[in-house]
Amino acid sequence: MTFLDKLAAAQQKNGSLLCVGLDPEPARFPGGYKDDAGSIYDFCARIVDATADLVIAFKPQIAYFAAHRAEAQLEKLMEHMRRNAPHVPVILDAKRGDIGSTAEQYAIEAFERYGADAVTLSPFMGFDSVAPYLKHEGKGAFLLCRTSNPGGADLQGQRLADIEGQPFLYEHVAKLAQGPWNLNGQLGLVVGATYPAEIERVRALAPTVPLLIPGVGAQGGDAVATVRAGWRADAPIIVNSSRAIIYASSGEDFADAAKNAARATRDALEAAKP
Ligand SMILES: O=C(O)c1cc(=O)[nH]c(=O)n1[C@@H]1O[C@H](COP(=O)(O)O)[C@@H](O)[C@H]1O
């Protein structure tokens, strides 16, 4: 099953556009797990089990594992998701970007070592830095386009004077992902929920690619505006929330609280569909 097939199946089965982001910070863990990097797997697995019937995808952020020497726990978590939530695709948030020969290794890491269904990438180094990921049949690759952080505009908001129509850099990325770079239909784009006008613009330029949209919840993005700007019946959007879900409670009830927060967010996103 390809990433896109899995995404469509999860969306239908769970009636959801919500992606739960797995950004484990031991300092924020509840009760007995607090400050224990050895509990990263246990904490995340409990969040996964509590929310697996409410999401379109899971998105582990690799830095939160690597910072604690917890790559083995990430491997175990990936296995856990394949076993306990086989219907939910996993996007490994790694934001890689490097020359082709190194990108080949990063692609092996994401798709073979961790078994991810999709990965996040920086397009800054150009097509040859993206191409190695596209050789992995059926896997997805999300290019950073208009990111959720305020500094995203520093470069993504620059006009490209030598390209017809003088588009912003993020608009050019959207066009490349919809067109010449999308060799096998594996590309998607990352656009922040904090900038709904830009989501609308990206959707107009890239009408069929999946959009990964982080920034609702802790970053304050508007769920309703996000769905109105990006949702199309025939093109998926994946709306990520990490901290607002996984740290919904700092008590022993954290998994139940995550489930309730995920359900409320899922329902708000569904209700916003036109
Ligand atoms: O690629 C991403 O996932 C990403 C892109 C972006 O523009 N903004 C953004 O916040 N993210 C990631 O999405 C998650 C957002 O987390 P919360 O702000 O806690 O919901 C983090 O893992 C970020 O690294």
Kind and range of the H or E element at 210?
A: none
pLDDT attached to residue 274: 87
> What burial letters (b/e) apply to 59-98, b meaning 16+ CB within 10 Å?
bbbbebbeebebeebbebbbebbeeebeebbbbbbbbbbe
CA of 162 to the centre of ligand 1 (A): 31
Position 156 confidence tier, pLDDT thresholds 50, 70, 90: very high
> Which neighbouring-strand residues pair with 241?
20
pLDDT attached to residue 31: 87
CA of 194 to the centre of ligand 1 (A): 11
3-state SS assignment for residue 247: coil
Beta strand 211-214 pairing with 187-191: parallel
The per-residue pLDDT for range 23-49, each reduced to its tens digit, is: 999 999 998 999 999 999 999 999 999
Ramachandran angles phi, psi of 213, nearest 5°: -120, 95
Nearest CA to ligand 1 atom 8: 148
- Across 162-178, average pLDDT: 96
C-beta atoms surrounding 224 within 10 Å: 14
- Across 182-186, average pLDDT: 96
Q: What is the mean pLDDT of the chain?
A: 97
CA of 220 to the centre of ligand 1 (A): 12
The per-residue pLDDT for range 202-216, each reduced to its tens digit, is: 999 999 999 999 999
Closest ligand 1 atom, residue 241 Cα: 20
Is 157 within 8 Å of 111 (Cβ atoms)?
no
Task: Give the pTM.
Answer: 0.98
Q: Judge whether residue 151 has pLDDT over 90.
A: yes
**Percentage of the residues of the chain whose pLDDT score is greater than 90:** 99
E runs forming strands in the chain: 18-22, 57-60, 91-96, 118-121, 140-146, 187-191, 211-214, 237-241
Q: For the domain 3-271, what is the CATH code? A: 3.20.20.70
Q: Judge whether residue 62 has pLDDT over 90.
A: yes
Pocket test for ligand 1, best of 44, 61, 64 (most atoms within 8 A of CB): 61
Q: Judge whether residue 97 has pLDDT over 90.
A: yes
CA distances from 83 to 59, 77, 79, 80, 87 (A): 16, 10, 6, 5, 9
Catalytic residue among 34, 76, 95, 273: 95
CA of 271 to the centre of ligand 1 (A): 23
The yes-or-no answer on residue 95 being catalytic is: yes
Q: Compute the distance between CA of residue 61 and CA of residue 59 in angstroms, rounded to an integer.
A: 6
Picking from 132, 115, 125, the residue whose alpha carbon sits closest to that of residue 78 is 115
Give pairs for 225-229: CB < 8 Å, separation 24+.
225/193, 225/196, 226/193, 226/196, 226/199, 226/269, 226/272, 227/17, 227/269, 227/272, 227/273, 228/196, 228/272, 228/274, 229/196, 229/197, 229/199, 229/200, 229/203
Picking from 249, 274, 192, the residue whose alpha carbon sits closest to that of residue 50 is 249
Q: Judge whether residue 88 has pLDDT over 90.
A: yes
Angle between helices 196-205 and 223-230 (to 10 degrees): 20
Closest ligand 1 atom, residue 217 Cα: 20
CA of 167 to the centre of ligand 1 (A): 25
Q: Judge whether residue 80 has pLDDT over 90.
A: yes
Q: Output the six-digit token pair for 43.
A: 């904490």
Ligand 1 is surrounded, with C-beta below 6 A, by 21, 23, 61, 93, 95, 120, 147-148, 190, 192, 214-215, 217-219, 240-244
Q: Compute the distance between CA of residue 39 and CA of residue 51 in angstroms, rounded to an integer.
A: 19
